[in-house]
Structure 1
Amino acid sequence: MTKEQQIQPNLLEQNNAPIYEALKEFSRKHVVPFDVPGHKRGRGNPELVKLLGKQCIELDVNSMKPLDNLCHPISVIKEAESLCAKAFGAKHAFLMVGGTTSAVQTMVLTASKKGEKIILPRNVHRSVINALVVNGATPIYVNPDTDKRLGIALGMKISQIEKAIEENPDAVAILVNNPTYYGICSNLKKIVELAHANNMMVLVDEAHGTHFYFGENMPISAMAAGADMSCVSMHKSGGSLTQSSVLLTGENVSPGYVRQVINLTQTTSASYLLLASLDISRRNLALRGKEAFAKVVEMAEYGRQEINKIGGYYAYGSEIINRDSVYDFDKTKLSIFTLDIGLAGIEVYDLLRDEYDIQMELGDIGNTLAYISIGDRMREMERLVSALYDIRRRYHKDRTGMFDHEYINPSVVMTPQEAFYAPKEEMLPIRECNGRICTEFVMSYPPGIPILAPGERITQEIIDYILYAKEKGCSMTGAEDENIERLNVIKEATTY
């Protein structure tokens, strides 16, 4: 049997979309709705129908026997999850409607519990640390290197992982960001080998790596590397609706237990619009993903070349690979360093949106990111390049006095759970918090990587960074004080 003949039956199977097909059949029957949702196929809310369309509202239905139930799937949802697992090369797949935040938290809650250690990079998404607040596990942070020019955190070095394992042989898991928001990939396969040799699970936040499973010549995917669990934001580069995601597991993870953990926090009223979008998107990528992501890479590479010709900007790519802290690079990520034109990334982000009607994915102190995916077209890429050229022409200035780094290594004093629930002093003005222990989060969103997390000591460098980020227009979130003018800190009488 040829390789093509071996693949063909799988492709035929992937042509199915069980949830979508069940919804179409349900729609044909005109079932009288004496159940929720209360809009009753839109009749009770005509303005919502006008906004979203009749077909969309009619498919916003509740769980019922013909449509299965996400909390305990036995029919069409189970079939869809099985097809999803096969498409991603996983043992099991779970459709998630609480975003990849819910999937990340499921991984952490599955792998660890109160008092147990989990090794992870500090530049994780807030959802990871939120999970530690909930379950009380102890983070063992691997502080990644930073690129001195770009100011961004890089991947975890193997030497750093080895050191963390040697110093914490009782750790139960290692969590890896792969890729990061900026496209940085770690040596995932080697990390898996080290972890499994030391009886530790490997959890991968693969939110930005859907295309690793379907494109060619991509960095290795978590499942291909042998990871135990991975979460994939299908809505980011995979084309499904916002908030829909997939959780993948390997051979040695109990699917029944994972389902129990999911059901601790995920809704019992799953949106069939989100579920159907996952089902259809999986089918689309399984059948057409190879060609689609080849075009994505082509667009991103074109954008990199043209932006770098402008001068002043640096759209970085595979040239930053060093096979260590940058083991590989996601070529679909079009990250643009802006400081050499005298503008912060967030300033370029704001200019693109306000003056050129171009919405970027993120803007931070030194970078802005164009998220390229299957829905993009070359004409929009050319429009972005032209706008960046115009911004440089109109707004270029000297960069003296600008901050040049995104990531500050924190001093961790307490676990996130201990700090979050510890006795708090009245909120102090942020300028008076130097040396105190923070009990809450402070972060720019996106990317949602905490500048401060519960249990970390506040330093003058961090205070200066927060004030500078606010001044430049970064969207700051996480703290109780929505203006981030005051912070919750541990009472001074408490000693740590």
Structure 2
Amino acid sequence: MKTELTQYDTPIHRALEEQRLNRLAHFDVPGHKGGRGNKELREFLGAECMKLDMNSMKPLDNLCHPVSVIKDAQELAAQAFGADEAFFIVNGTTAAVQAMIMSTTEAGDKIIMPRNVHRSAINALVVNGAIPVYINPGVNKKLGIPLGMSVESVKQSIRENPDARAILVNNPTYYGICSDLKAIVELAHESGMLVLVDEAHGTHFYFNDRMPISAMAAGADMSAVSMHKTGGSLTQSSILLTKNTVNADYVRQVINLTQTTSGSYLLLSSLDIARKNMSLNGQVLIDKAIEFATYAREEINKLGGYYAFGEELIDGDMIYDFDTTKLSVHTRDIGLAGIEVYDFLRDEFGIQIEFGDIGNILAIISGGDRNLEIERLISALSEVKRLHEKDKSGMFDHEYITPVVVMGPQKAFYSYKVSLPIQESDGKICGEFVMCYPPGIPILAPGEMITKEIIKYIEYAREKGCILTGTQDMNVENINVVDTAI
């Protein structure tokens, strides 16, 4: 008789340890054979880590078709997150977002989504041919950042597109801003639409009652959670959550279209252990993160010039709630772009933050931080202001530019294209992506009209030191545009 598992159990971790202790003679992959075949890598990562890097075998189950320990671990994750099913993802939350879209829409189907989505969502549309119906988020004029989806905008999009199959919601945004997720779910379900949530930055919502509502608690049908971002697992490990309103077996098939058949057991076991840790200790860990972030926010605001924003922004609409663990700081009033502050912190003070854009920085705070690092960050920001503050005139004042969509992403991406210098592309239809990474939200996506304002933004971002990506041209000097003469 099978013993009932609890949140104290880690099935994949346990099975992996058992295989390590079995002293197997390995005539399977990986070829490093526990690190013996690659001594430099073994010395770098450690002998125990290398021994645990195993391939799928009967006692370890199979990620593509789990029937034993992976299945058990996924069931425990579903329980912990309040979902009906959970799928372990080792291709990053990018793969989870794409699986959500590709399992609920097909070529020609409409999907309602905010335009400030991660590139992974638009990539899915390029692959499967679904058509986006964009809701332009509001913009906070002082901070220049995109906000959440207003309920009224969702209502309007549903009225104008009653045939849409699903609504995708970012919750929270990179900056910590949350939409009224429960109201959006109710509206969508009344109209027969599914709700998919890109919850990459909200894993911790599930494990602390001081956090905004989670996707599963709000009644969403699917959610992609980056366990590695705020849940403590290894980078690239993620979980896709579903309710019984979607066919979980079909979702698994869609995941298997793009996910590796050689799932890393280091990543899988990290998901297993991180789920246990958050389930048992999440309330305390996230309380600690909240206290750190709140203290840092207060101290940074005392410095003058900076604005570490938080719950005071909540307006019950496009900023319905706020994730207080996100330490987002507006920098433009000291005459510095966020990316400039990012560079100063790293190069002069040995501090690595999550990202800097043209007006803000973001520091990710978790229960793994310490008082010493928090104080270092506050002191370093004070020094950056003292040493580098300048006149803010002439600075670009917003992160988000409302796009003009003239063609579906798939059609534009696969159309015949010509390469032009970006400065000469005004009025053309973009055939690829342009974005700053992080955060990976496209400035331009396939099928959108290139405008003078967008060109100016790209050049400004380059000048300030943002890392531009997405174009075929690795120097991001030329851009592929749709050849409308063909």
What do the CA deviations read for 1:219-240 (whole angstroms, capped 9, x no partner)? 0000000000000000000110
Q: CA deviation at 1:491?
A: 1.0
Shift of 1:374: 2.4
Residue identity matched to 1:45: N
Aligned counterparts of 1:338 and 1:302: Cα–Cα separation in 2 = 18
Paired AA for residue 435 in structure 1: G
Q: Is the 8 A contact 1:239 1:374 kept in 2?
A: no
2:339 pairs with 1:364: no
**What residue identity is the alignment partner of 1:473?**
G
1:351-387, Cα deviation, whole Å (9 max, x unpaired): 0000000001000000000011121112101100000
Alpha-carbon deviation of 1:176? 0.1
Instruction: Quote the residue 2:255 is aligned against.
Output: 262
Residue aligning to 1:473: 465
Distance 1:374 1:56 in 2: 24
Task: Provide the C-alpha distance between the structure 1 equivalents of 2:128 and 2:207, rounded to a whole number of angstroms.
Answer: 34
User: In the alignment, is the contact (CA less than 8 A) between 1:210 and 1:234 conserved in 2?
Assistant: yes
What residue in structure 2 maps to residue 345 of structure 1?
A: 338
2:225 — aligned with what?
232
Shift of 1:251: 2.0
Pairing partner for 1:377 from 370, 373, 391: 370
Corresponding position: 1:308 with 2:292: no
Q: Is this contact kept in 2: 1:216–1:294, CA < 8 A? A: no
Q: Distance in 2 between matches of 1:241 and 1:86?
A: 21
Select the residue among 417, 430, 434 that pairs with 1:442. 434
State the distance in 2 between where 1:221 and 1:28 align: 39
Alignment partner of 2:286 out of 287, 293, 304? 293
Letter in structure 1 aligned against 2:472? E
Task: Report the Cα distance in structure 2 between the residues aligned to 1:360 and 1:24, rounded to whole angstroms.
Answer: 35
Aligned ranges for residues 68-147 of structure 1 at < 5 Å?
68-147=61-140
SS state at 2:374 partner: helix
Q: Distance in 2 between matches of 1:375 and 1:274?
A: 19
Give the distance between the partners of 1:375 and 1:476, measured in 2 at CA.
30
Letter in 1 for 2:144: G
SS in 2 for 1:222: coil
Q: Aligned partners of 2:269 and 2:476: how far apart in 1?
A: 39
Residue number among 409, 425, 434 corresponding to 1:433 in the alignment = 425
Partner of 2:316: 323
Aligned to 1:28: 21
* Distance in structure 2 (CA, Å) of the matches to 1:217 and 1:387: 29
Shift of 1:59: 0.5
Structure 2 residue matching 1:139: 3-state secondary structure:
strand
> Matches of 1:81 and 1:181 in 2, distance apart?
27
Q: TM-score, with normalisation over the residues of structure 1?
A: 0.97
- Among 39, 54, 57, the residue aligned to 2:50: 57
1:200-248 CA-partner distances (Å, limit 9, x unpaired): 0000000000110001211000000000000000000011000000000
2:335 paired with 1:335: no
1:173 corresponds to 2:178:
no
SS at match of 2:216: helix
Amino acid at match of 1:399: K
Give per-residue Cα distances to partners, 1:381-436, cap 9 Å, x unaligned.
110000000111111111000001111000000000000000112x1011100000
TM-superposed deviation, 1:492 = 3.7
Corresponding residue number in structure 1 for 2:475: 483
Instruction: State the alpha-carbon separation in 1 of the partners of residues 163 and 484 from structure 2.
Output: 32
| Cross-structure match for 2:206 | 213
Q: Alpha-carbon deviation of 1:493?
A: 1.1
- Asked whether the equivalents of residues 296 and 376 of structure 1 are also in contact (C-alpha less than 8 Å), the reply is yes
SS at match of 1:488: strand
Inter-partner Cα distance in structure 2 for 1:89 and 1:21: 24
**Structure 1 counterpart of 2:170, which letter?**
N
Instruction: For 2:174 and 2:228, locate their aligned partners in 1 and report how far apart those are by CA, in whole Å.
Output: 15
Q: 2:237 aligns with which of 225, 241, 244?
A: 244
Alignment of 1:170-209 (within 5 A): 170-209=163-202
Distance in 2 (CA, whole Å) between partners of 1:121 and 1:200 is: 16
Give, in angstroms, the shift of residue 276 of structure 1: 0.3
Equivalent AA in structure 2 for residue 454 of structure 1: P
Q: Which amino acid counterpart does residue 440 of structure 2 have in structure 1?
A: G
Alignment partners' CA distance in 1, 2:160 and 2:347:
50
Partner of 1:407: 400
Contact residue 433 and residue 458 of structure 1 kept, 8 A = yes
Aligned partners of 1:237 and 1:374 also within 8 Å = no
Alignment of 1:453-472 (within 5 A): 453-472=445-464
SS in 1 for 2:361: strand
1:10-54 Cα offsets, whole Å, 9 max, x none, are 9x8100000000011101111111111111111110101000000
Contact residue 119 and residue 139 of structure 1 kept, 8 A: yes
- Tell me if the contact between 1:414 and 1:456 (Cα under 8 Å) persists in the aligned partners: yes
The aligned residue for residue 151 of structure 2 is 158
For the residue of structure 2 that corresponds to 1:304, the secondary structure is helix
Distance, in Å, in 1 between the alignment partners of 2:414 and 2:201 is: 32
CA drift of 1:75 comes to: 0.3
1:424·1:491 contact (CA, 8 Å) conserved in 2? yes
Q: Distance in 2 between matches of 1:101 and 1:254?
A: 20
Q: Give the counterpart letter for 1:92 in structure 2.
A: E
Q: Secondary structure at the match of 1:128?
A: helix
The residue type equivalent to 1:317 in the other structure is G
Question: Distance between the aligned counterparts of 1:141 and 1:76, measured in 2?
Answer: 41
Report the 3-state secondary structure (helix = DSSP H, G, I; strand = E; otherwise coil) of the residue aligned with 2:87. Answer: strand
Structure 2 CA distance, aligned partners of 1:294 and 1:162? 35
Identity %: 65
CA distance in structure 2 between the partners assigned to 1:387 and 1:217 by the alignment = 29
Q: Distance in 2 between matches of 1:413 and 1:474?
A: 27
Task: Give me the whole-angstrom Cα distance separating, in 2, the residues matched to 1:111 and 1:299.
Answer: 39
RMSD: 1.0
Q: How far is the alpha carbon of 1:177 from its aligned partner?
A: 0.1
Q: What secondary structure, in the 3-state scheme, does the structure 1 residue paired with 2:196 have?
A: strand
For residues 424 and 349 of structure 1, what CA distance do their matches in structure 2 show?
A: 36
Question: TM-score of the superposition, structure 2-length normalised?
Answer: 0.99
